[in-house]
Structure 1
């Protein structure tokens, strides 16, 4: 079920079906929550996790949405809300010994970032 925005000054961006496990993505997303946009970009830029590239794309999209649609300055924005929901899981089979098989779950994520002006946050 989609989460609705309660505050009209909050701007959101979402990346769906990102090929990374939600558990791994949450480790990165939790680091940028309640930070300014500049701090969040710095954290993501120096993160050693591969999912940081995807999270940075979503953050850039949220900042761009705020600037284009609401006219907010990117310098004044704060990351208000971040969460990672679980997407569909692709199920694959790996052959094992004696003709048996084991299941491989390739998980996907839906990454959502919400930004707002500093005074509103």
Structure 2
């Protein structure tokens, strides 16, 4: 049948921080991944959990997949646009502050297929 996916775009968190959380759940079953994300003390875990829940909903509603057989087939974080700001420094100088953003993609598939 394929896979179902969900994307969260323009998340105001650096991709480096989100990738740390995403690496914890890559390839896991959905219920196991949800438990890992629920008890991970990182800000990005809330975002990734919401995207995973959306992917599961897409799989069950739109693709008629069995929720108990679902696993995370692909999950990745791409870099979004960077907001550039300036902070005043000593002696009249200014330094650039880069406020990074992320695009989070979660794909789920049934375990029976490959």
| TM-score past 0.5 threshold | yes
Counterpart mapping for 1:54-69 below 5 A: 54-69=47-62
- Per the normalisation by structure 2, the TM-score is 0.97
Task: Give the 3-state SS of the residue equivalent to 2:28 in structure 1.
Answer: coil
- Within the candidate set 8, 21, 24, 1:15 is matched to 8
1:43 — aligned with what?
36
- Corresponding residue of 2:74: 81
- Structure 2 match to 1:107: 100
User: Structure 2: any 5+ residue segments left out of the alignment?
Assistant: none
Secondary structure of the corresponding residue to residue 65 of structure 2:
coil
Shift of 1:20: 0.6
User: TM-score if structure 1 supplies the norm length?
Assistant: 0.92
- Please say if 1:25 is aligned against 2:47: no
- What are the ranges of 5 or more consecutive residues in structure 1 without an aligned counterpart? 1-7
CA RMSD, aligned part only?
0.8
Moved >3 Å (runs of 4+): none
